[in-house]
Amino acid sequence: MKINTRYLGNKKFEISARGHRAICDQPANGGQDAGMTPPEFLLASLGACAAYYAAEYLNTRGLPATDLTVEVTAEKVRQPARIGSFQIQVSVPGLEQRHQEGVLRAVKSCLIHNTLLNAPRIELAVNCEVPAMA
């Protein structure tokens, strides 16, 4: 997997992956609210992943998934600045109790959920090379 992020000026960035693009902005820090903030992208990733796994569980069993929604909230903490907790609320109106537990198990299999539970190794590098002229 790979994404690229390009600075657009002010507090705005363009994020691209596989031909798709999204705008990221920092309205609380002087940006113009042109897109989601980096923490909102993280929550969006967690919510979309949880929704995917829940939908797969429902679809595999022929259960209705059209009203499936996932809400993700988070709490920030300091020192160091980070998200200290996430809350994921999966809603599937009318689902029987026995399937609620199945959806819960499915969502716990989410790649993003498991990544956040098991901190990955992160390598950082700064490249200061001047691009070659064409």
116 CB contacts (<8 Å, ≥6 apart)? 46, 86
pLDDT at 95: 94
CATH code of domain 37-117? 3.30.300.20
Per-residue pLDDT tens digits for 1-16: 999 999 999 999 999 9
82-91 and 69-77 strand pairing? antiparallel
Average pLDDT over residues 28-38: 92
Which residue in 122, 53, 40, 64 sits closest to 90, CA to CA? 53
Kindly tell me the burial class for residue 54, based on how many C-beta atoms sit within 10 Å of its own C-beta (0-12, 13-18, 19 or more): buried
The full set of domain ranges for the chain reads 1-35, 37-117
12-17 and 69-77 strand pairing? unpaired
Total-model pTM: 0.89
CA distances to 7, 12, 60, 77, 95 from 25, in Å: 10, 4, 38, 21, 38
Per-residue pLDDT tens digits for 43-89: 999 999 999 999 999 999 999 999 999 999 999 999 999 999 999 99
pLDDT at 80: 94
